[in-house]
């Protein structure tokens, strides 16, 4: 089974009835349950309880405890509101009675109205850029967790990733990466959005450390996501390349913000992301 097929399998939650769902882990995991996986699974669980076909407009996740990757995760969906144009869900993510995360998801069909957009950065197209596997060649011992991680998403960096930047002695105040599913997603908008949510928890905190010329694998850094919010502007087609452009506006008290946008190939923003992480640096 490919890494992409594994992601699709773990997003196919088991429904226990009355808003209760159970999700599993893929075969490759970080030391603790990946936050992007929890958000993606929570989103799928919430959409499966909708009584109307409403698009998502926002998701906010607060991570409370780390999860064990050899145990299933339970998702309890609480219906807070169900109206013609609005719906709200709260998803409690637990494992063996321990609360891992609390996720709020809102759905809203607003209709036509005023429209303006933030301009995307000027970057080269993804075709011809090296794959993540190529960028990791020669760094297997330096960043082994990246090499052994599940890779259901294609990544094409438009700039040097942190480990290459660090070796060159550079600093970088942003990260811009083309991403898309490393396989063909089915014609289900919820799965396209869930896969984007999964990828939104990658690279977003990188600019906190690359701003200081640091990198995973080279420097003693501990990082953990505290909270993660996404605002959905348009339905994403994650079978096509989407630019994930992020930066870090502030870091203080061993906490840092990563913020950014997903842009589609027509240069329209499809989502805005803000993540707060606990980032400890031990020189």
Token pair listed for 228: 């993660």
Q: Helix, strand, coil proportions of the chain in percent (round to 5)?
A: 20, 35, 45
Query: Can you give the pLDDT of all 283 residues of the chain as single tens digits?
Result: 899 999 999 999 999 888 999 999 999 999 999 999 999 999 999 999 999 999 999 999 999 999 999 999 999 999 999 999 999 999 999 999 999 999 999 999 988 999 999 999 999 999 999 999 999 999 999 999 999 999 999 999 999 999 999 999 999 999 999 999 999 999 999 999 999 999 999 999 999 999 999 999 999 999 999 999 999 999 999 999 999 999 999 999 999 999 999 999 999 999 999 999 999 999 9
Token pair listed for 9: 């399998």
Q: Which CATH superfamily is domain 3-110+126-281 in?
A: Acyl-CoA thioesterase, double hotdog domain (2.40.160.210)
Asked if 212 and 254 count as a contact pair (C-beta separation under 8 A), the reply is no
Q: What does DSSP assign to residue 31?
A: S
Asked if 182 and 133 count as a contact pair (C-beta separation under 8 A), the reply is no
3-state secondary structure of 103: strand
Asked if 2 and 183 count as a contact pair (C-beta separation under 8 A), the reply is yes
**Alpha helices for the chain (secondary structure H):** 3-11, 35-47, 132-136, 144-147, 162-168, 189-200, 206-210
| Residue whose token pair is 């490919």 | 2
**Residue 84 to residue 2: CA distance in whole angstroms:** 40
pLDDT at residue 133, as a whole number = 93
**Residue 56 to residue 48: CA distance in whole angstroms:** 12
Nearest partner of 88 among 39, 52, 38, judged by Cα: 52
Beta strands, E only, 33-132:
56-63, 73-82, 86-95, 98-108
The answer, as to whether pTM is greater than 0.85, is: yes
CB neighbours (10 Å) of residue 52? 12
Quick one: angle between helices 35-47 and 189-200, nearest 10? 160
Nearest partner of 162 among 175, 149, 152, judged by Cα: 175
Read off φ and ψ for residue 183, nearest 5 degrees. Answer: 170, 180
Asked if 206 and 259 count as a contact pair (C-beta separation under 8 A), the reply is no
**Residue 123 to residue 267: CA distance in whole angstroms:** 11
**Residue 242 to residue 261: CA distance in whole angstroms:** 10
Segments making up each domain of the chain, as ranges: 3-110+126-281
3-state secondary structure of 120: coil
């Amino acid at each position: 089974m490919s890494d992409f097929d594994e992601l699709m399998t773990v997003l196919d939650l088991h429904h226990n009835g009355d808003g209760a769902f159970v999700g599993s882990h893929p075969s490759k995991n970080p030391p603790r349950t990946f936050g992007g996986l929890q958000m993606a699974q929570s989103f799928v669980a919430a959409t499966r309880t909708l009584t109307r076909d409403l698009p998502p407009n926002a998701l906010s996740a607060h991570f409370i405890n780390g999860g064990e990757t050899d145990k299933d995760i339970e998702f309890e969906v609480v219906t807070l509101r169900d109206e013609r144009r609005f719906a709200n869900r709260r998803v409690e993510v637990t494992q063996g009675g321990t609360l891992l995360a609390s996720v709020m998801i809102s759905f809203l069909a607003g209709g036509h109205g005023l429209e303006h957009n933030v301009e995307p950065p000027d970057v080269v197209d993804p075709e011809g850029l090296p794959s993540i596997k190529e960028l990791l060649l020669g760094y297997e011992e330096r960043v082994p967790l990246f090499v052994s991680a599940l890779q259901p998403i294609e990544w094409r960096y438009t700039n040097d990733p942190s480990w290459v930047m660090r070796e060159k002695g550079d600093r970088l105040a942003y990260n811009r990466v083309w991403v898309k599913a490393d396989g063909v997603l089915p014609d289900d908008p919820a799965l396209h959005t869930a896969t984007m949510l999964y990828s939104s928890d990658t690279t977003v905190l990188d600019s906190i450390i690359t701003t200081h010329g640091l990198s995973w694998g080279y420097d003693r850094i501990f990082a953990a996501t505290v909270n993660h919010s996404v605002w959905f502007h348009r339905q994403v087609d994650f079978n096509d390349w989407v630019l994930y452009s992020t930066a870090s506006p502030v870091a203080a008290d061993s906490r840092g913000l990563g913020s950014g946008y997903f842009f589609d190939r027509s240069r329209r923003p499809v989502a805005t992301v803000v993540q707060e992480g606990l980032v400890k640096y031990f020189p």
